[in-house]
Amino acid sequence: MPSGPEAAASPGRTARRSGSGSGLAALVGLLGGRYSRELDLDLDRDPDVERWFCAATLFGTRIGAEVAMRTYRTLRAAGVATVTDAAARPWDDLVALLDAGGYARYDFRTATRLQRLGAAVAERFGGRVAPLGRTITDPEVLEACLDSLPGWGPTTVRVFLRELRGRWPGARPPLDPRAAWALAHLRLSRSAQPDLRTLARLAATAGVDVRDAEAALIRAALAHRRGRACAGGSACAVWDRPEPPPLPGRPTPRARRRPPHRPAARR
């Protein structure tokens, strides 16, 4: 039986010591990759792009990814898989489903936003966003088109597009700053300022999809609570986690009063 520090080393930590490529692959295996895949969505299929558009709307709010995923699963199980579905549901039903998923802090505004999005997608794009990936190939034009949607902004646009990287010609957002930070913190890259090309090279060496690599790095960054010291590199505590770490920012339940008048969805 081995003894000493190596005996206590986790598989992730051991893989990290063997090189940056295997370390990146270990990180994806440890923390998970694309959120869309975790939601059982295949973004090569148009129907799942429509579903990811709805899910990305939930990710765009300042709320934990686990809550966003649980809430989307709750919506989908109730027949609200797309924003088009949301536009057809009563506002009160959406609020109840958002609450059930744990999205209570933003339930009122999100119910309204989902309905407004459904109306906007119907009016501007004939009810479907998937064809945009084939008709708009200029990244700036595509991002501006999505950014103009009600309730969407740069954060939601990046969340949506980074998982369509390599599938939509115009889906070319820069490397997420949190992923760049994690690359440097975990010392998976020798570059002082890693960019998307840096990550693409590392992902190719590791044999993982660059989208999974970016998502895993974002998860690693989110696992570091603000103000908490961490040595980084192979000493980073993230390598010892047997399961994906809890994400910070989960809202604390609190008593809330219903508004005197529920907002009407704009159609």
Query: What would the pLDDT profile of 141-180 be if each residue is shown by its tens digit?
Result: 999 999 999 999 999 999 999 999 999 999 999 999 999 9
Query: What would the pLDDT profile of 174-219 be if each residue is shown by its tens digit?
Result: 999 999 999 989 999 888 788 999 999 999 999 999 999 999 999 9
Residues 6+ apart with CB under 8 A from 74: 97, 98, 100, 101
Residues 6+ apart with CB under 8 A from 61: 68, 106, 110
Give pLDDT, residue 242.
53
Per-residue pLDDT averaged across 130-146, rounded? 96
Per-residue pLDDT averaged across 226-241, rounded? 73
Given 3.65.10.10, 1.10.340.30, 3.50.50.60, 3.40.50.300, which CATH number is that of 37-162? Answer: 1.10.340.30
Closest CA to 133 of 41, 195, 45, 55: 45
Q: Does residue 254 register a pLDDT over 50?
A: no
Instruction: Give dist(CA 161, CA 53) in Å, integer.
Output: 9
Strand partners, 168: 165
Q: Does residue 25 register a pLDDT over 50?
A: yes
Give pLDDT, residue 228.
62
Give pLDDT, residue 213.
96
pTM of the model: 0.81
Q: Does residue 264 register a pLDDT over 60?
A: no
Query: What would the pLDDT profile of 86-114 be if each residue is shown by its tens digit?
Result: 999 999 999 999 999 999 888 899 999 99
Band (226; pLDDT cuts 50, 70, 90)? low
CA-to-CA dists, residue 187 to 46, 214, 231, angstroms: 37, 15, 11
